[in-house]
């Protein structure tokens, strides 16, 4: 009986591996021609009357007008706002969808939609095809995406790209902690604080992303020193 259990378990794991590989192939094929794209992150819990939602929608609209595809996790909240802004601007609005407790339904503002079963595959796709990350206030999932991107950039596992944190009041405490704990105790270097930029004014973001990629050998380009209130 124990032997049969082991065989059944190995068979299940093998089929799961094939499913993972198939989802990666699907993602790579469907995103192959996406072009320059900006990923927008943030809480799935914000409604359309939330200022962060409205700000994300406005930014996505401007990014679409500047020729950027907008990528999101395809759910509600900030993801919906990002897709909505790009969709209504007649731009490419892509949802990288997955079923999670607070984002079970796809939002209705996607020109392209890809569905995955595994959260880590979605993260790979969003990082791989991003020209920039714009991170609005959010919870654990948003923090997960943010720090994974920063880790990959810091360790040079991916080509660096601009990472924006929106709202200094929201993120300021986290950055103060990075300085007073991580930096002060030698866990990160001072230059690591230039891997992202803290902003309140979103109007300059599309032009800054353009400038970043126009900079010769942008792998050596850093944001100006961050600031907090």
With the CA atoms of 145, 148, 153 and 156 taken in that order, what torsion angle do they form, in degrees rounded to the nearest 10? -150
Q: Does residue 4 belong to any structural domain of this protein? A: no
Q: 68-72, 159-163, 190-194, 213-217: which range is least confident on average?
A: 213-217
Query: Percent of the chain having pLDDT more than 90?
Result: 69
CATH number, domain of 100, equals 3.40.50.450
C-alpha 178/C-alpha 185 separation (Å) is: 10
Average pLDDT of every residue of the chain: 88
Q: Does residue 113 belong to any structural domain of this protein? A: yes
CA 139 to chain centre: 13
At 83-98, the pLDDT tens digits run: 999 999 999 999 999 8
Q: Does residue 31 belong to any structural domain of this protein? A: no
Q: Does residue 96 belong to any structural domain of this protein? A: yes
Residues 6+ apart with CB under 8 A from 20: 118, 121
Model pLDDT, residue 105: 76
Number of domains in the chain: 1
C-alpha 189/C-alpha 4 separation (Å) is: 52
Strand partners of residue 197: 164
CA 172 to chain centre: 19
Q: Does residue 26 belong to any structural domain of this protein? A: no
* Residue 63: domain span: 53-218
More confident residue, 2 or 117: 117
Q: Does residue 39 belong to any structural domain of this protein? A: no
At 142-185, the pLDDT tens digits run: 999 999 999 999 999 988 999 999 999 999 999 999 999 999 99
Cα–Cα distances in angstroms (integers) from residue 120 to residues 20, 34, 168, 226, in the given order: 10, 20, 28, 29
C-alpha 112/C-alpha 52 separation (Å) is: 24
Model pLDDT, residue 10: 64
Of 175, 147, 142, the residue nearest 73 (C-alpha):
142
Q: Does residue 211 belong to any structural domain of this protein? A: yes
Q: Does residue 226 belong to any structural domain of this protein? A: no
Model pLDDT, residue 117: 86
Residues 6+ apart with CB under 8 A from 191: 222
In this prediction the pTM is 0.85
- 195: tokens are 């891997």
pLDDT of residue 221 exceeding 50, the answer is no
């Amino acid at each position: 009986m124990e032997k049969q259990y082991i065989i059944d378990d190995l068979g299940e794991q093998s089929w799961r591996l094939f499913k993972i590989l198939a989802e990666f192939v699907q993602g790579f094929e469907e995103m192959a021609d996406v072009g320059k794209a900006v990923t927008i992150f943030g809480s799935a819990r914000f409604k359309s009357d939330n200022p962060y939602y409205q700000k994300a929608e406005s930014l996505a609209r401007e990014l679409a007008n500047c020729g950027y595809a907008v990528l999101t996790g395809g759910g509600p909240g900030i993801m919906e706002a990002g897709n909505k802004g790009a969709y209504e601007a007649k731009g490419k609005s892509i949802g990288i969808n997955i079923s999670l407790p607070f984002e079970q339904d796809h939002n209705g503002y996607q020109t392209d939609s890809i569905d995955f079963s595994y959260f880590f595959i979605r993260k790979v796709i969003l990082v791989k095809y991003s020209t920039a990350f714009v991170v609005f206030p959010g919870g654990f999932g948003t923090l997960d995406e943010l720090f994974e991107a920063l880790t990959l950039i810091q360790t040079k596992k991916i080509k660096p790209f601009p990472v924006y944190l929106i709202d200094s009041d929201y993120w300021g405490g986290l950055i103060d902690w990075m300085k007073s704990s991580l930096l002060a105790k030698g866990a990160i270097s001072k230059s690591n604080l230039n891997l992202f930029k803290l902003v309140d004014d979103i109007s300059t973001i599309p032009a800054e992303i353009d400038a970043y990629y126009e900079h010769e050998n942008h792998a050596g380009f850093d944001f100006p020193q961050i600031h907090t209130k």
